[in-house]
Structure 1
């Protein structure tokens, strides 16, 4: 029998490895930025075109490489970070496997330009699909420039799975945020399609956060500091009142490396328990410094998932540290019964005796007596000179007074929410009987029995189809605000709003100035209350961050779903008879009546036979 097991060629093995290391353009950005930081760079430039699919270029002023090292760096598992297996448990650098450049070169056109400080001339290497096209000696500045073009040019299937340029750019921005926050001492410049995105000079951690997420972030931050023999915790958390529905501003760094840890995230949620609204998430920027021997970062190709030796102790320390910071900076309301009241005395009155306040009353003062005071020959009189004609103020007013001399008192009935429908057409079918059950269901009769309708899901379906129609025909009605609303968002959230701004305008939102610091709202759809605009925008941003739709149809669909979910009547709201009938009629006028926009059942039918079987 012939042998059937064969060694794969290097270029095929590199493409297989690239499937783990390079998932999308942001993966290339992450690997190359980490290489630049490991090279000791103090200034790094990131240049992106076409969402990273056309061009990714990273220029640094690090130590650079010699000609031999430059050529060897593209070989598989060639690295300067580790020499033996024990070094894997004492890592102080970002990359260490030596597979990033080989994987990138296998699926893209790569050009490297590098020079060390000792060399007078540099080296340029061009590689296309693992094949070295050219290597030459050139004049180059100190450091390294990596140029990656036409990502996945030789794997069309992988390229077809990439999203739109806006979505890929958003992923690149997320990676840029993570690495620039982990290294505030490094200056970063970020350019996209020829325009500036970020200009971040070297700074401290707090200023770097403010540079990325906007000036208004500074007032939200609460410092966190704790040092033990197990871990050193430093960084900032956001005040509870600034918790958002989206999870964007949540960063853990372990030994200056961004990590994802649902277990430690749960510790943060436990510290904020009772301080934030359900369904919202607190923001935090926390650095954890631990012994490199107690953390394993080699369990995932992206190195964002790590394993700590003693996670339970770390969990307890993190939770107590965050709670301590919330209490120390008076974020948690508290009453101190042991407070020394002498501390409330102003310093200027510290040594003065306490005197009983005196109240002086002029017993001869009469406000109804004409009093003349000579002050600049002016006369003041407390009494009005003429009071004739006061009866005319009450003409036309009839007061109903009972026999005891008290006005009749009328008690208001229970407030009923009937404002969800603005059109006043009389469409009630007086032959139809409806009533509300548990402020959750609407029950109406049909020929064969009755229908039990979930009022929230039914209203979601009605609003969803209305919003989709408005987006399609672009004839939405909006109400202008008397005073424009200024809403503050981070740079990443502003970019998301810029993407969906056109679709928001088609449903009735009117935008004013949109800057990197905030958004001005001039008008809102008819059904939207002014006080709910901030919540609606946060919900929209949260949904778009999680789903990340690419084409315009997906954006319109998600926008309609989010608005329908936010503006629909909720369980617990009372509807009057007109609103109940209107909701039933509008529901059965929809194209799809059985399912809500989120594919949940809207109503159930109970026939007369079903009822009769209950009495057998």
Structure 2
């Protein structure tokens, strides 16, 4: 550098308004972020009634009204300053926090990216305070008449940061996030009254009550008899709450809630502890319902490892894992939730009189007089089997090695047995007739050998491409219902369906909103079995939420994959010859016939010369 040359300073302090907007990005990422902060502040203010009002999915308005302690004139002004808080006096307080909203910059961040109006009055004062803030600047502060407690209205989020506003999702997507945050806070505090009003309609009205009542009111009345109490205590920690019985498990993670010291958290580690407790009761791809509260000394928890405080760190995770797993296992065992019969046992067997009717004295006498009873109870008689009698099935033991499966369409009453036999012999001589294997696979001959088709994966691929065409080219025909059904959904699920309505119409569903969280089902795709409309939509909804959680697909791709997965032929369904041939023909007419939408092989080919080598035909 030449001697005497001066270099200008390049590091400057940012103006407060820009610094506030940058800080706001850590706290207020979307309307739901503001909802979380405002609800938690209301809880910490000692409110017993909390109202949330939303307009335009929070983009136009997020307002929380509570009947809590209220604020003085000075506190009302100070709460919008960065790092202002009533909950931390010393550095030690930071590690012993049991309240919810302690981030000093929460209200300051909201004021930096929105227009804010605050009204607050302490219960022992006659007048309250009104403050209007625009882009972190106080425009007005004056006394006002208002009810005891606090009302904070956040208007026009990101009005001064257009680029941030453009990154917000659709109203339905943003509303889902708002409902999620509302539910988490409402579950954590069942002794408080909560309500949620969106665009003038009340979505939730939750009265004070027990945790079980709150779970049922939020997640649905069908859980009322399906909840198992979890309650274990030690000197180190306590676990309490509820888990759902195994038959309530779903393919989605939407009904899993962990709270540590009443704060909602996300923990894959603790979720695994619960899953392992259910490991022998539900399929591995399903998720049980749980609402579990862990209470322990805040000194054992670090809640500042993530800006949203939803991911936290424990000083001894192994103890926590073992305790949660044991608590859930103990609860399930105590309430006899373990299955009494094998899940794979044929339903027809489960309904037999031998299992469902009492074993009376008369039946005991009748059983004792049978030859098979004597064979197994009298000394030296176990090897003796009675071959007499015209009803002995052992005479036809060779039949056990005959064909065990025939196409479904060939089955008929005994009076047409001769016709069936002729058709079966005719099919057997035609080498190209496909054969179903274990009601899961289709075996079909090709010139070079044969192929083995996974019937479910193949049908998924067929439906996936059919639904893709329906959205881009020709909509699927709708089968109108003679008696339209009313479908009542949970509020969060109703938001999901509302978002998908135009695409569902193209895919053959005729749904119409009908009041709060309710839809009228006037028609379904033509290939949906009549009378199965509600189950079809509920299954589609569950699959959609599952893919949303696992794959992060865009909405249309998610919907098409969900439809294909939900409507595909299940494993274990018998297929007739024509049905199998249709699957083969349609599969190989697909643009990508070799894999399912999820990437599984739809078929495997076996060459004839490979078979010859396996059987050592060359020798």
Assess same fold via TM > 0.5.
yes
Q: Structure 1 residues 479, 74: closer, same or farther in 2, change over 3 A?
A: closer
User: Helix, strand or coil for the counterpart of 1:185?
Assistant: coil
Residue 208 of structure 1 is matched in structure 2 by 214
Q: What is the deviation of 1:277?
A: 2.7
Aligned to 1:139: 145
528 and 280 in structure 1: CA distance in 2 versus 1, 3 angstrom threshold: farther
Aligned to 1:478: 479
Partner-residue secondary structure (3-state), 2:10:
coil
Which residue number in structure 2 is paired with residue 464 of structure 1?
A: 464
| TM-score of the superposed pair, with normalisation by structure 2 | 0.75
Give the TM-score of the pair, scaled to structure 1: 0.75
1:98 is the counterpart of 2:88 = no
Structural mapping, 1:80-159, within 5 Å: 80-159=86-165
Question: CA separation of 1:604/1:270 partners in 2, compared to 1, >3 Å: closer, same or farther?
Answer: closer
C-alpha distance in 1 between matches for 2:513 and 2:113: 42
SS class of match (1:219): coil
1:162 corresponds to = 168
Q: Displacement, 1:174?
A: 0.8
Q: Bigger shift: 286-295 or 45-54?
A: 286-295
Does 2:79 match 1:73?
Answer: yes
Question: Cα distance, 1:457 vs. partner?
Answer: 4.0
1:260 maps to which of 261, 266, 275? 266
Distance 1:513 1:12 in 2: 44
Residues 142, 459 of structure 1: alpha-carbon distance in 2 compared, 3 angstrom cutoff? same
Name the SS for the 1:223 alignment partner: strand
Deviates more, 1:532-541 or 1:209-218: 532-541
Please say if residues 55 and 149 of structure 1, whose CA atoms lie closer than 8 Å, have aligned partners that are also in contact. yes
The answer to whether the 8 A contact 2:407-2:436 is kept is no
Instruction: State how far apart, in whole Å, the 2-side matches of 1:437 and 1:541 are.
Output: 31
Q: What secondary structure is seen at the aligned counterpart in 2 of 1:197?
A: strand
Shift in Å at residue 454 of structure 1?
5.9
Counterparts of 1:600-615 in structure 2, within 5 Å, are none
**Shift of residue 478 of structure 1?**
3.4
> What residue is the counterpart of 1:311 in the other structure?
317
Confirm or deny: 8 A CA contact 1:418 1:579 kept in the other structure. Answer: no
| Structure 1 segment 280-291 matched on structure 2, within 5 A | 280-291=286-297
Contact 1:167–1:548 (Cα < 8 Å) also in 2? no
1:328 maps to 2:318: no
Q: Which residue in 1 is equivalent to 2:53?
A: 47
Which residue is 2:184 aligned to?
178
Change (3 A) 1:313 1:545: same
1 CA distance for matches of 2:478 and 2:408? 20
**Residues 109-128 of structure 1: CA deviation (Å, up to 9, x unaligned):** 11111122343322222222
2:486 and 2:520 in contact (8 A); partners too: yes
The alpha carbon displacement at 1:597 in A equals 3.3
- How much has 1:241 moved relative to structure 2? 1.2
**Aligned twin of 2:421:** none
User: 15, 33, 36: which one pairs with 2:42?
Assistant: 36
SS in 1 for 2:257: strand
Match of 1:297 in 2: 303
Aligned to 1:559: 559
CA distance in 1, matches of 2:304, 2:138: 30
**Mapped partners of 1:251, 1:563: distance in 2:** 27
In the superposition, relative to structure 1, how do residues 108 and 88 fare at CA in structure 2: closer, same or farther (>3 Å)? same
Query: Which structure has more helix as a fraction of its residues?
Result: 2
1:415 counterpart (383, 405, 411) = 405
Counterpart of 1:361? none
Unaligned runs of 5+ in 1: 336-355, 358-403, 420-427
Give the corresponding residue for 1:60: 66
Shift in alpha-carbon separation, 1:165–1:413, aligned structure 2, 3 A? same
* Alignment correspondent of 1:191: 197
User: Contact 1:470/1:476 (CA < 8 Å) preserved in 2?
Assistant: no
Q: Secondary structure at the match of 1:331?
A: coil
Q: Tell me if 1:13 matches 2:19.
A: yes
CA distance in 1, matches of 2:521, 2:510: 6
1:492 aligns with 2:492: yes
Secondary structure in structure 1 of the residue aligned to 2:42 = helix
After alignment, is 463-472 or 30-39 more displaced? 463-472
Q: 1:532 to 1:326 in 2, by over 3 A?
A: farther
Of 555-564 and 206-215, deviating more is 555-564
**What whole-Å deviation, never above 9, does each CA across 1:109-162 have from its counterpart, x for those lacking one?**
111111223433222222222222222222222211111111111222221111
Using the TM superposition, give the Cα deviation of residue 62 of structure 1 relative to its aligned residue in structure 2, in angstroms.
1.3
Structure 1 residue 194, shift from structure 2 partner: 0.5
Q: Which has the larger radius of gyration?
A: 1
Distance 2:288 2:163 in 1: 39
Shift of 1:519: 7.6
Partner of 1:246: 252
DSSP 3-state at the match of 1:59: strand
Q: Structure 2 CA distance, aligned partners of 1:528 and 1:31?
A: 45
Q: Counterpart of 1:279?
A: 285
- Aligned residue pairs total 534
Write the distance in 1 (CA, Å) between the matches of 2:563 and 2:234.
Answer: 47
Judging changes above 3 Å, is the alpha-carbon distance between structure 1 residues 68 and 193 closer, same or farther for their aligned structure 2 residues?
A: same
The DSSP-based 3-state class of the residue aligned with 2:164 is helix
Q: 1:599 Cα deviation (Å)? A: 5.7
Q: Distance in 2 between matches of 1:87 and 1:31?
A: 20
- Give, in whole Å, the separation in 2 of the partners of 1:56 and 1:479: 40
Q: Which string of whole-angstrom CA distances, capped at 9 and with x for unpartnered residues, describes residues 460-493 of structure 1?
A: 23212333445664452538699x9898754433
State the Cα distance separating 1:568 from its structure 2 match.
2.9
| SS of aligned partner of 2:273 | helix
Residue 223 (structure 2) aligns with: 217
CA distance in 2, matches of 1:110, 1:507: 43
- For 1:405 and 1:215, the matched residues in 2 are separated by 52
CA distance in 2 between partners of 1:77 and 1:405 (Å): 88
Q: Distance in 1 between matches of 2:519 and 2:486?
A: 6
**Shift, 1:169, TM fit:** 0.9
The CA deviation at 1:520 is 8.0
2: CA distance, partners of 1:24 / 1:417: 56
CA distance in 2, matches of 1:601, 1:259: 38
Stretches of structure 2 that go unaligned for 5 or more consecutive residues are 1-6, 342-360, 363-389, 410-426
Counterparts of 1:151 and 1:501, CA distance in 2 = 27
Residue of 25, 28, 33 corresponding to 1:27: 33
1:317-356 counterparts in 2 under 5 A?
Answer: 317-333=323-339
- SS, match of residue 286 in structure 2: coil
Matches of 1:597 and 1:298, distance apart in 2: 40
Cα 1:486–1:66 change in 2 (3 A) is closer
